[in-house]
Structure 1
Amino acid sequence: MSATSHSMTPTNVAELQALATSVRRGDTGALHLSPKAQQLLDALLAMPETVGLSNISRLGEQLEVNPSSLTRLARALGFSGFRAFQALFREDLAGSSFYSTRAERLLDFGQAPEGAIAQGAQDQALWQQEMANLTAAVEGLDSHVLQRAVSLIVEARHIHVIGLRASFGAAHYLAYYLDFLRDDVRQVSPLAGVGVEQGQRLAEGDLVIGLAFRPETRISVDYCRLAVEQGATLLALTNHPGSQLASLTDHVLLAPADGPFFFNPMTSLFLLVELLLSRVAHAMGNDAISSIRQREALIACLNVE
């Protein structure tokens, strides 16, 4: 590992992700890291919460590396040591809440009126926050980015949709209805026997739609990174502009997910999915109608209920 200048030292996790991408591509003037150091950096970026909360010894045990390797990597990246490197992850976590923290806030009756109306007040607060997320999603949409996303979906040769854990439902919804509109749509899911090795078949002209909310699933991030390295285009649907998926592509749609839920609210993500489906159907015109009718005829023929 060769040390980088302090002027190049990342000041936040998003910059660190961009640096890792530059190193991986071997960009001119990029920091040089050994293959093992690159793998270690990628592993750390894939588990930001663990990095922010663990001491160096425990983190070394989890990654099966000597703590000195973490220190050397931090210094190679321009930091004075591991603690300075770890501070990036802790600052990033300060802007978001862990599931347990959200649950504590949700159950904190001291912030709600006492008595019989307390539960109703909490329900009202949840509803208002979901409305705020929907409003933020719509107001934050860049019409050019959305239209470009639609064009990518319409023009792609093959489409792979990946979203795991909490994002699985939205990924399935998107893949299922996209398959009504056009051919060559596949949902990537280990549960369905379609694993990450499918990414090796992607190439230029193909599209991967990645859905992931922080904390992001490592399999999803790795799959999307592999697809990009194979030449495919990535469309990311995520809840944070500094997410790992967002660092891999210029095509990003944000679904705000703030609120007192102990889990990530998904309403805004489903809104983005429905907007995409609606616009794709409109862009395809009669071809979309013909494709839907063929699917309906097949369903009727097979007596699918």
Structure 2
Amino acid sequence: MQASVPATLDELREQITLRYDSLSKRLKQVGRFVLDYPDDVALETVVVIAERSAVQPSALIRFAQAFGYSGFSDMQGVFQAELMHGKTNYRERIRLFREGEEDIDAEQPISVLRAFASADMAALEQLPAAVDVQAFTKAVELLAGAPGILVAGQRRSFPVAAYLAYALSHLDHPVRLLDGLGGMLKEQVRSAGRQDVLVAISFSPYAPETREVIELARQRGLRVIALTDSPLSPLVQQADVWFDVRDAEVQGFRTLNATLCLAQSLAVAAGYRLERLLAQAVDSA
């Protein structure tokens, strides 16, 4: 394999992100799919992956060759290596992957609960390994050190934003949920202090209101923490710290449990960080 060919999944992710805008429409579809569903790419056949990403199998081959691989199987080996050498062992990841596909029986309403519970357990099992330790630590430090915190999330992400604002309100910092009541979203951002931190939450297709909030916040010099669902998310480029969260999906319905778990963990960890800072201040007084 040539040196220019991505040898690891992290290297491939970086290359896809850097070159995404220059790819054709079909290759962009493939790029987004392989970033969003790496386990599918590792475990499924080229025919199944093509069907799920709504492209022809030949598009998968062209995509792989565009990044220097001899073919799709060559690129797929990178995903399989990541799966086998990940923090969760290979067989366990396969088990979790298969559980996420549990069927729903329209004649048995309880099967809906079982399917969602199974998929959520799989997503939560994989969450700790998917979160970058340095990014998590940096986000916690930003939250603990901010004189004020703003939280933004619209539509599907609003419940996460509302809960996070509630959880962060237990810290000794002013916390504001940017709900845009009365069409005052811009004014809510403009009233923020320049040392404040914005936590922005948005998933595909990415609410334009949240994107506008981030742009306004950056103009004012605020630091931004983003919770989103892809390295290709428009929130990533504007964020100081970002998290790519993969919530469970059952027959097109996405849950929020992994994102809520991450949000709660950030709030609690920030609380512990504040306690430690206060204890150090008392000891040095």
TM-score range, shorter chain: 0.5 to 0.7
- The letter for the 1-side match of 2:253 is F
- The letter for the 2-side match of 1:219 is E
Displacement after TM superposition at 1:236 (Å):
0.5
Change (3 A) 1:160 1:124: same
- Whether contact under 8 Å (2:103, 2:115) holds in the other structure is no
Aligned to 2:172: 182
TM-score of the aligned structures, taking structure 2 as reference length: 0.60
2:242 equivalent among 242, 252, 262: 252
Find out whether 1:151 has 2:146 as its counterpart.
Answer: no
Aligned to 1:263: 253
Change (3 A) 1:113 1:205: closer
Distance 1:123 1:168 in 2: 23
Aligned to 1:239: 229
TM-score of the aligned structures, taking structure 1 as reference length: 0.56
Aligned to 1:207: 197
2:263 equivalent among 262, 273, 283: 273
Displacement after TM superposition at 1:180 (Å):
2.1
Distance 2:183 2:207 in 1: 18
1:130 equivalent among 113, 120, 132: 120
Give matches, 1:26-37, under 5 Å: none
Aligned to 1:229: 219
- The letter for the 2-side match of 1:180 is H
Higher alpha-carbon Rg: 1
Moved over 6 A (4+): none
Displacement after TM superposition at 1:132 (Å):
1.2
Change (3 A) 1:134 1:114: closer
- Whether contact under 8 Å (2:167, 2:264) holds in the other structure is no
- The letter for the 2-side match of 1:145 is A
- Whether contact under 8 Å (2:223, 2:240) holds in the other structure is no
Change (3 A) 1:16 1:204: farther
Distance 1:275 1:147 in 2: 11
Displacement after TM superposition at 1:218 (Å):
0.6
Displacement after TM superposition at 1:286 (Å):
8.2
- Whether contact under 8 Å (1:213, 1:264) holds in the other structure is no
Change (3 A) 1:121 1:276: same
Q: Name the count of aligned residue pairs.
A: 201
- Whether contact under 8 Å (2:123, 2:258) holds in the other structure is yes
